[in-house]
């Protein structure tokens, strides 16, 4: 499938994509708040600048966009590599994956626990609620 937008329009669209306070993040934050947990956002002093941080629990949540972080689930259609400009996208998205891997490794070394919630998971509210509650309620994640 080829891109239906001109390169100028595609560039303009891509430049407007936010990295913080995205819709999936907001959905997850509201859910966590309703579950009774309190948190901090985007702590710069932690590896990977996690989206949601629970300092007293030493736990973090990364909210990953399926495209930008290349969701490994083959059923997730949002993680497909664009067919146009592959020489640009393949290395760019690989760098994101490498950076994510390094951040998780560094968090583990610092004895922090983490989970990744993928953008496509935010549509399954009961499953998402259970996943978050299990992660936050456990002492040994």
What domain count does the chain have?
1
Task: Determine contact, residues 116/71, Cβ cutoff 8 Å.
Answer: no
Per-residue pLDDT, 128: 97
- Give which of 133, 138, 94 is closest to 113, Cα–Cα: 138
26 domain residue, yes or no = yes
Contact residues for 62 (Cβ-Cβ < 8 A; gap 6+): 48, 50, 51, 100, 103, 114, 115, 116, 117
Per-residue pLDDT, 20: 73
Per-residue pLDDT, 83: 86
Would you write out the chain's pLDDT as a tens digit for each of its 141 residues? Answer: 456 767 677 566 555 555 678 999 999 999 999 999 999 999 999 999 999 999 999 999 999 999 999 999 999 999 898 888 899 999 999 999 999 999 999 999 999 999 999 999 999 999 999 999 999 998 764
- Tell me the CATH number at 127: 3.40.960.10
69 domain residue, yes or no = yes
Per-residue pLDDT, 2: 57
5 domain residue, yes or no = no
11 domain residue, yes or no = no
Per-residue pLDDT, 76: 93
| Structural domain boundaries enclosing 111 | 18-137
Task: Determine contact, residues 91/84, Cβ cutoff 8 Å.
Answer: no
């Amino acid at each position: 499938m080829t891109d239906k937008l001109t390169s100028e329009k595609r560039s303009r669209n891509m430049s407007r994509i936010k990295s913080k306070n995205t819709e999936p993040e907001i959905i997850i934050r509201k859910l966590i708040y309703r579950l009774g947990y309190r948190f901090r956002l985007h702590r710069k002093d932690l590896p990977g600048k996690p989206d949601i941080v629970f300092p007293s629990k030493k736990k973090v949540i990364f909210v990953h966009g399926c495209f930008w972080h290349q969701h490994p689930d083959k059923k997730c259609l949002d993680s497909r590599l664009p067919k146009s400009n592959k020489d640009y996208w393949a290395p760019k998205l690989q760098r994101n994956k490498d950076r994510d891997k390094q951040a998780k490794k560094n968090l583990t070394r610092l004895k922090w626990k983490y989970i990744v919630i993928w953008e496509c998971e935010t549509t399954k509210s009961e499953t998402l609620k259970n996943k978050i509650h299990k992660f936050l309620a456990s002492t040994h994640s």
